[in-house]
Structure 1
Amino acid sequence: MAARLLALCAGLGALGLPAPPGLPVHLGPGFPAPAWKNISCWSCRAMFTALDIALQFDSNLDEAAVVAATKLCIDLKLAPQDICAQAIGLFKHDVIAAWINSILKPSEICGLLLGIDCGRWDIYSDWNVTLPDTPKPPVVPPKAPRPSAPVTRVLFLTDIHWDKEYSPGTDPDCKDPLCCRRGSGLPPRYRKGAGKWGEYSKCDLPLRTIENLLQHLRSDHFDLVYWTGDIPAHNVWHQSRRDQVVALDTITALLRRHLGHVRVYPSVGNHESTPVNSFPPPFVRGNQSSAWLYGAMVAAWKDWLPKEALETLGRAGFYTVKLGPGLRLVSLNMNFCSHENFWLLVNSTDPAGQLQWLIGILQEAENSGDKVHIIGHIPPGLCMKVWSWNYYRIVNRYEGTIAAQFFGHTHVDEFEVFYDEETLSRAVSVAFIAPSVTTYIDLNPGYRVYQIDGNYPNSSHSVLDHETYILNLTEANRSESPKWLFLYRLREAYGMDTAFPADMDSLIGRLAQDDRLFHKYWYLYHKGHTTQVCEQACKTATLCALRTGRADDPHLCKDLHKKGTYGETRRLWRQRKMC
């Protein structure tokens, strides 16, 4: 039963508990500081042993675990008392169901919380996908298209995070994990309240800002829209299934109203479910399954997707669709790779068979000479290690077929370069990571437009360039009619001839050598607004993230580290998981 308490403590991830190796217990920046580091291994084992014994004699075990977990949340000052109680109440049924077959000993629990020096555990065992025997075709380096070749413009939206409780004038620096909303109170007299269009703080967006963005986009031309999820706000301690479906339907309706002439291709974010990050594999049935969410998505998106895509979306949240001659899209449910998805503690081996399914799609595309775009929410480098390494292996095998990868989740503007597995030196693919629509945390709202090699025979369908646009909140909150502004164009900003994998790898090297160029990158990384100074360890961590499409691989960054910076670099790098 100690495992049941630990499961509920995993729910406290919504309140900012850190993510020790393997344990899905943290959610985002702006939440309280880690507290587990203050517990010794001996104390941890003693605590969970005592709880184990006590709970065995309690006639209402689940309620006892709820009470104990709530007290733990309050004692460790993870959140105010009312939020601790609400979060535990929200998470208890799903998390206990996920852990019902994962009973661990106190030493194993403490190994999860504090690291393997305190106890070993084998929940996340290694596994491998099966690649077909078909030999990999010879590698053909990409070439820039002729100047007159058609270009496809793809609008990319991610991490909208609509807060229906957003209220101008409220305190942007409240005690709760999410502010600028009813219940946040008023700020002190010397400080301004939340702005009309958004705020530089731990706040999400009002509906008026999202609608203003979509009204602005109506005047532009796009051939496709990729939309990679995270629709609801960060009030994860107080959400219902009805809340999530309302958010899904509301934003979908706005997209259809303002961009109705363009087909939209969505993917599933980690915030779509409640409890947040709760995505059980399809074999889980009944009230704990995700059928309520996938069914709502099928109903909302049925005009955008063909029948075959709706079938796999409704089963497990992923799909594929033919976009046109020579090009196919794959939308992945990246929650099946997530550290924070506590259902993977039951079974983390290729959940829903998604990666094996992906291999089949890519092999079909290779056989027919098609290119493939992959979209998803969580970038591969932030996934669980075994999932990430398997995905990396797939990207290596099908580098000639995968034309581009697009992700979101981190809220900032970055990318991940994939290298050949033999030498880890030749760049084979890039996962572009676009900035968020939301301000959370301390950012301007933003969106991305990709220029893709267009539809013509033998097109590479690769990313040729991209543009980023923002809403400058300082200026917008002084106006009744805010203006969305062009921030930068990739190749122009960094002096690049093309944006192929080798070019992005070369950019990382230039950023490492040129401090002025890195400071420019740091500014654009934050969508044109940051007060943070990035010193050496921060810079190394930032550059390491650009190389790390394969999670927890020290070989990819070993040449970046200076003496004494590795530990700090790892700490800063792991903060990217906090969204």
Structure 2
Amino acid sequence: MPQADEAEKFIYVKLGRIDSLTWSDAEVVVFDCPCALRHMYHNNGALNLPDSISQEDNQPLTDGGTSESPPTDKCTLCMNTVKEVYAVYEANKSHSDLRDAVLALCNFYRKYNEVVCAGVINVHLDMIIYFAEHANNDTITRRFCSLYLPPGSCEFEDEWVVNVDLGTKPDVITPSVPSILNESAVIVHVSDLHYDPTYTLGNNAVCDAPTCCKEDQGRPTSPSDGAGYWGDYRNCDSPLQLVNNTLQHIKQHHQKIDYVYFTGDFVYHGMWESTKEQHTQIITSIVRAFNETFQDTPVFFALGNHEPIQANAYAPLDVDTNVSTKWLFELVSELWSPYITEDAKQTILQGGFYTVKPRDGFRVIVLNNIVCLNNNYWLAYDSRDPYNQLKWLAETLLLSEREGDKVHILYHVPTGMNNQWGSCLKIWGREFHKIVDRFENIVAAHFTGHTHYDEFHVFYSTENASRANGVSFNGGSGTPFIDVNPNYKTYTVDPASWNVVDSDMWIFNLTDANSKPEQNPDWFKLYSFRDEYRVANLLPAQLDSLAHRMAANHTLLQEYYRFYVKNADPSLAKGCDDACLKERLCEIVTVESGDLSKCEQLDKEFDLVPNKH
């Protein structure tokens, strides 16, 4: 490769400078350059490619530009680059040539250091080859770029609906709970533990890799940049002692627990060193720790985006090669067996989703909704209700309606999410919303994870957007990654309706805990939702009203931000300005990615406040 300044000059002269794109945190950057990849490597000696795949100046790269006059829209730039990558492989089917080409791009753009680039490409190479051999056409390439690029750069060219008879929707029954509960159920919600078995006390917490504090990253020059005993606010995942202490504290301080929900992400963010053996070990150890801690208390697990070897990548079932995800489904179908039925095992094997009835009148449905995450590039290959999961969901809810069940739905990714952690495919979110709207009388609550923040979301009727008819609660994270305190949550639930009456957030301050490594962290209840926000319960109408109160009361909204980041020192130091506060409001009322109708209404209410904060 040329030196950095020479390379930048080459790109500017030959291709025209382009704005940097938005990357996924769990995927190698190989597609931001509209370069004539074969031409650049041939002329600069980065690869010794055959003359048959080199190009002369001004020869068309692909449709949409030449090496002197490149296309300007990001979608075409991305598609051209994907085709160039495929062409390197098509020349002689050489795995090593393809690897070297993609590695050169990763190093050229310095997304990660050379070690991470090489590792990520090794982990993903078989997946790239599969796409080159089975999905090398304009339609799939365009879909890939639409998933990869920022919203609005490329339209995702696919349209489908879930083909299932939902029956006639019964008259809506407004949910309610008694003002005083004679009895209650308690649910503990844990999410996103991200256990890192290579976490090393004192090692570098400020590194140029996706996650730091690792065994092979060495000691920092400054001791202040060293990893803390109980974890670190910076790009570091959970040490074993943090995972164990979290579960032990829950068991010791909550005598009555009816169910435990875990909404995904057992595995840490080390996507450049992932192996099947490593992920198997991590998932197995975490599940066994839950089983040993809670014993006869049922634990219901959902899969997250970091469980596959290639992060985010849940392959279709007909992909039966070494990039298949079947090994993961087989693993968890056995590990989760103490709390699930044989029927549940079978649906896990078909896509990582299942349902159980822990008692009469109550059903738990667990989805694998990483199939909606835009960072799951298998959606370019097949996006149409992957695993037929939404059809199964609708049929399961129909059964629940006939049997008189109330339902909790668990999944990893909030369906309206659209931020640095990715977004849920608009079509999938729309179809999901239609289904849960149809069954609003029986779906009592949703439980999610992924973002690592303490947040809630309100669903609205598809026929009357002013009527709230569903609620979702995020479990936060057991890891402090990034700039948050570790947490878990407890919910007080009415066992007659399975509606959530209250929730408590439990945290410890990581700065304080790391200053006393010889002592256990000082866990404490950060707040009670009902007391803090002065709501009667956590039903949809109450939370919709709360969102409007926050728009009008910025002091209350700032308090929401404090809880959102779980009172973490670095996030509180950064603060949350008006734009940040509006984002928090928008997240609350968005359950379909890209649908900003409710956001616009709250924005106007926010702007009416004369003296902010």
* TM-score w.r.t. length of structure 1: 0.87
Taking the aligned partners of 2:220 and 2:28, their CA distance within structure 1 comes to 20
Match of 1:569 in 2: none
Q: CA deviation at 1:423?
A: 2.7
The aligned runs of 1:19-38 (5 Å cut-off) are 26-27=24-25, 36=32
Out of 528-537 and 404-413, give the one that drifted further: 528-537
The aligned runs of 1:254-403 (5 Å cut-off) are 254-382=289-417, 383-403=424-444
Q: Kindly tell me: are residues 32 and 197 of structure 1, through their superposed partners in 2, closer, same or farther at Cα, counting changes over 3 Å?
A: farther
Q: Is the aligned partner of 1:548 residue 2:583? A: no
**Residue of 77, 82, 86 corresponding to 2:115:** 82
Do the aligned residues in 1 keep the contact of 2:191 with 2:449 (CA within 8 Å)?
yes
Q: CA-to-partner distance for each residue in 1:403-431, whole Å, 9 max, x for gaps?
A: 11100010001112110112311000011
Aligned partner of 1:334: which letter? N
Q: Is the aligned partner of 1:468 residue 2:510? A: no
Taking the aligned partners of 1:346 and 1:416, their CA distance within structure 2 comes to 30
Aligned partner of 1:271: which letter? H
The aligned runs of 1:131-210 (5 Å cut-off) are 131-132=164-165, 134-189=167-222, 191-210=224-243
Aligned partner of 2:24: which letter? H
**Residue of 444, 449, 468 corresponding to 1:427:** 468
Do the aligned residues in 1 keep the contact of 2:230 with 2:514 (CA within 8 Å)?
yes
Q: The residue matched to 2:197 in structure 1 has which SS?
A: coil
Match of 1:498 in 2: 537
Aligned partner of 2:574: which letter? Q
Out of 35-44 and 328-337, give the one that drifted further: 35-44
Q: CA deviation at 1:48?
A: 3.2
Q: CA deviation at 1:19?
A: 7.7
Q: Kindly tell me: are residues 544 and 299 of structure 1, through their superposed partners in 2, closer, same or farther at Cα, counting changes over 3 Å?
A: same
**Residue of 463, 475, 478 corresponding to 2:515:** 478
Q: Kindly tell me: are residues 353 and 522 of structure 1, through their superposed partners in 2, closer, same or farther at Cα, counting changes over 3 Å?
A: same
Once superposed, what is the RMSD of the aligned Cα atoms? 2.8
Do the aligned residues in 2 keep the contact of 1:403 with 1:462 (CA within 8 Å)?
yes
Q: Kindly tell me: are residues 461 and 112 of structure 1, through their superposed partners in 2, closer, same or farther at Cα, counting changes over 3 Å?
A: closer
Q: CA-to-partner distance for each residue in 1:25-81, whole Å, 9 max, x for gaps?
A: 6136xx999994999744937963983796377323443332221111111110001
Q: The residue matched to 1:447 in structure 2 has which SS?
A: strand
Taking the aligned partners of 1:499 and 1:117, their CA distance within structure 2 comes to 35
| Percent of paired sites with the same residue | 32
Do the aligned residues in 2 keep the contact of 1:201 with 1:440 (CA within 8 Å)?
yes
The aligned runs of 1:15-54 (5 Å cut-off) are 26-27=24-25, 36=32, 41-42=71-72, 44=77, 48=81, 51=84
Q: The residue matched to 2:227 in structure 1 has which SS?
A: coil
Q: CA deviation at 1:349?
A: 0.4
Q: CA deviation at 1:166?
A: 0.7
Q: CA deviation at 1:314?
A: 2.1
Q: Kindly tell me: are residues 19 and 428 of structure 1, through their superposed partners in 2, closer, same or farther at Cα, counting changes over 3 Å?
A: farther
Q: The residue matched to 1:329 in structure 2 has which SS?
A: strand
Do the aligned residues in 2 keep the contact of 1:18 with 1:26 (CA within 8 Å)?
no
Match of 1:573 in 2: none
Match of 1:235 in 2: 270
Taking the aligned partners of 2:578 and 2:600, their CA distance within structure 1 comes to 15
Taking the aligned partners of 1:214 and 1:116, their CA distance within structure 2 comes to 39
Q: CA-to-partner distance for each residue in 1:359-408, whole Å, 9 max, x for gaps?
A: 01101111121111100111111310000000011111100011111000
Q: Kindly tell me: are residues 236 and 151 of structure 1, through their superposed partners in 2, closer, same or farther at Cα, counting changes over 3 Å?
A: same
Taking the aligned partners of 1:110 and 1:326, their CA distance within structure 2 comes to 45
Q: Is the aligned partner of 1:97 residue 2:130? A: yes
Aligned partner of 2:460: which letter? Y
Q: Kindly tell me: are residues 161 and 141 of structure 1, through their superposed partners in 2, closer, same or farther at Cα, counting changes over 3 Å?
A: same
Match of 1:14 in 2: none
Q: The residue matched to 2:458 in structure 1 has which SS?
A: strand
Do the aligned residues in 1 keep the contact of 2:550 with 2:557 (CA within 8 Å)?
yes
Taking the aligned partners of 2:152 and 2:455, their CA distance within structure 1 comes to 34
Out of 213-222 and 440-449, give the one that drifted further: 213-222
Out of 427-436 and 293-302, give the one that drifted further: 293-302
Match of 1:217 in 2: 250
Q: The residue matched to 2:339 in structure 1 has which SS?
A: coil
Q: CA deviation at 1:473?
A: 1.0
Do the aligned residues in 2 keep the contact of 1:98 with 1:343 (CA within 8 Å)?
no
Q: The residue matched to 1:278 in structure 2 has which SS?
A: coil
Taking the aligned partners of 2:447 and 2:122, their CA distance within structure 1 comes to 35
Match of 1:527 in 2: 566
Taking the aligned partners of 1:504 and 1:88, their CA distance within structure 2 comes to 44
Q: CA deviation at 1:218?
A: 1.8
Do the aligned residues in 2 keep the contact of 1:540 with 1:561 (CA within 8 Å)?
yes
Do the aligned residues in 2 keep the contact of 1:174 with 1:185 (CA within 8 Å)?
no
Match of 2:480 in 1: 439
Out of 316-325 and 185-194, give the one that drifted further: 185-194
Out of 238-247 and 186-195, give the one that drifted further: 186-195
What is the number of equivalent residue pairs in this alignment?
536
Q: CA deviation at 1:320?
A: 0.6
**Residue of 452, 455, 461 corresponding to 1:411:** 452
**Residue of 485, 491, 513 corresponding to 2:552:** 513
Match of 1:8 in 2: none
Q: The residue matched to 1:466 in structure 2 has which SS?
A: strand
* TM-score w.r.t. length of structure 2: 0.82
Taking the aligned partners of 2:304 and 2:79, their CA distance within structure 1 comes to 38
Q: The residue matched to 2:177 in structure 1 has which SS?
A: coil
Segments of 5+ residues of structure 1 without an aligned counterpart are: 1-16, 566-579
Q: CA deviation at 1:185?
A: 2.4
Q: The residue matched to 1:354 in structure 2 has which SS?
A: helix
Aligned partner of 2:514: which letter? N
Taking the aligned partners of 2:205 and 2:506, their CA distance within structure 1 comes to 24
Taking the aligned partners of 1:248 and 1:46, their CA distance within structure 2 comes to 36
**Residue of 58, 62, 69 corresponding to 2:91:** 58
